[in-house]
Amino acid sequence: MRLRADLVLLLVAVLWGSAFAAQRVAGLLGSVYFFNAARFLVAGLILLPFAARSRITRAQVSWMCAAGVVLFMASALQQAGMQTTTAGNAGFLTSLYVVIVPFVMLVGWKERPRAVSIVAVFIAALGAYFLSTGGRFRVHAGDLLQLGGAAFWALHVVLLGKWAFRYDAISFSAGQLLVGSALNWAFSGLLEPTTFPLPPILITSILYTALVSLGLGYTLQIWGQKHTPPTDAAIILSLESVFAALAGGLLLGEKLSPLQVLGCAIIVSAVLLSQGKGWSRIDAPEPSRRPSEAAAGQPPPGPQVK
């Protein structure tokens, strides 16, 4: 099951990476809140019929709202930052969520990741630096927004890993998307007047990201994180930047320098390292079992000691 979950998260990284070109197009058109509001709404509505038969509890509603707020903050900061920084800086700073995740786990839940995972996250960050910036990082106005977005992306990964496993993946995904959409519509109305008709390329970007990176991607992410620790999940999802670079080359004609290719190889190496078995772990209290596993007398998936 753990291998299957890791492969699902790998597919999520492919989906997110392929959608980066569409997101970048929207950013260049100056659309932040409207773009996010529209694509979140489309994705949420598409998932609703499949979630209709799910039993939704009051606790699930609370966590869906929390996830939706975090998702809104992360996506808004990322998209706004793309208007005043380079794509390279945006890619690198956003990818730093992989480094932030283990610290969120440690500070928020006193859980320490495997020693090899700590090494892997910093290797992944080094690879992202080479891939996104080509070794040349220059500070821009939107960099602080991107860094803030990375913190919220890290919180989102942890939140899904800690609580979303309790609920149906499709209904949870639809709920967080609709909450995120509502918040984006509110800010779009206040801060971002939109003129109609919309450019066809913006409509295409909205529909593609709604179907691929949101509707399918976030649903698969929720399922995959049921069986993979948050730190390891973040490392696998960091492959998004590699697939984004490949998509940029295929769809936008962007070319990678030898240093950027090296960055791709370093990120892949970090992912493979994080999947290694039998590595020493940092001692920490054993995490509580998930309800279904405790009832069955089975240990939770993934590391027993984080």
Confidence band, pLDDT 50/70/90 cuts, at residue 245: confident
pLDDT at 305: 27
pLDDT at 272: 87
pLDDT at 289: 37
pLDDT at 276: 66
Placement of tokens 């859980």 in the chain: 111
E strand residue ranges, the chain = none
Which of 19-33, 100-114, 187-201, 211-225 is least confident?
Answer: 19-33
Dig out the tokens for 158 from the structure: 């942890």
Average pLDDT over residues 246-271: 85
Total residues belonging to the chain? 306
Confidence band, pLDDT 50/70/90 cuts, at residue 201: very high
**DSSP string for 232-246:** HHHHHHTTHHHHHHH
Q: Tell which phi-psi region holds residue 255, choosing left (phi > 0), alpha (psi between -120 and 50) or beta.
A: beta
Q: Is the pLDDT of residue 177 over 80?
A: yes
The Cα–Cα gap between 235 and 248 comes to: 21
Q: Mean pLDDT, the chain, as a whole number? A: 84
Q: Is the pLDDT of residue 52 over 70?
A: yes
Which of 68-77, 97-106, 124-133, 243-252 is least confident?
Answer: 243-252
pLDDT digits (tens, 9 = 90+) for 125-164: 999 999 888 888 888 888 899 999 999 999 999 999 888 8
* Cβ contact 30:83 at 8 Å: yes
Confidence band, pLDDT 50/70/90 cuts, at residue 232: confident
